[in-house]
Amino acid sequence: MGVSRQQAVENRRAIVAAAEKLFRERGVDAVGLAELMKAAGFTQGGFYNHFKSKDALVAAVMEKAMEEGGEAFASLIENARSADADPVKENIQWYLSPEHRANVDAGCPWSGFVGDAPRFDGVARGSYAQGLATNLERFAKVIEEAEGISEGGRRKAITLFTQMVGTLLLSRAVADVDPALADEILDEGRQHLLTAVDTQPGIQSRARPRRRP
């Protein structure tokens, strides 16, 4: 008996979900088709009923991860606004939290796949880049709205987000072998960025040198 169209869609979704989890945990190159199909509950032979190649699967994983990453960001911002909290600070607090550091399977996809992204094929790499650009645009708008500024949000979004990603990755890298150092990195990075948000509202255009009278 053949598989229904709906069942085929659900099976494909299960494969993508299993692949994303394994890719995040171990990296794309370290995961073989047999292993990921077993994790999804299928045999290796069924893989090509859904994808032409592993690259096609990686592209599907990136599409899913970028979409869900954007939705998670939007949800966090909306929750912060509903609670009458500063959405920029709430984002920093969540991003640089022990809970997010531990959530490798379903945390921020831009930090989760940053090591693999340069080795993706063109389609997956394009999805990653587009997703990153879109998220930075969202963050910039949130910053401008929160601080009541009309420009400078993009520069600040890039500055904050790159520091958030770097702090998270360094903390994750040593969390198992030196938990105290991992916590110190996370705590110091978080406090530094929260202070920066307080003391440097907005980022104006780079000042031009003054002319001497």
Quote the domain boundaries for residue 13.
1-51
185 and 95 within one domain: yes
**How many Cβ atoms from other residues are within 10 Å of residue 26's Cβ?**
12
CB-based contact 160:181 (threshold 8 Å): no
38 and 133 within one domain: no
CA angle, residues 166, 132, 94, in degrees to nearest 5: 50
Tell me the C-alpha distance between 84 and 157, whole Å: 21
Tell me the C-alpha distance between 72 and 50, whole Å: 27
The enclosing domain of 24 has a CATH number of 1.10.10.60
Residue 30 lies in a domain: yes
- What confidence score (pLDDT) does residue 15 get? 96
Q: Which residues of 36-64 are buried (b: 16+ CB within 10 A; e: fewer)?
A: bbebbebeeeebeebbeebeebbbbbbbb
Reported pTM = 0.86
42 and 60 within one domain: no
Per-residue pLDDT of the chain (213 residues; tens, 9 = 90+): 567 889 889 999 999 999 999 999 999 999 999 999 999 999 888 899 999 999 999 999 999 999 999 999 999 999 999 999 999 999 999 999 999 999 999 999 999 999 999 999 999 999 999 999 999 999 999 999 988 888 889 999 999 999 999 999 999 999 999 999 999 999 999 999 999 988 765 543 333 333 333
124 and 99 within one domain: yes
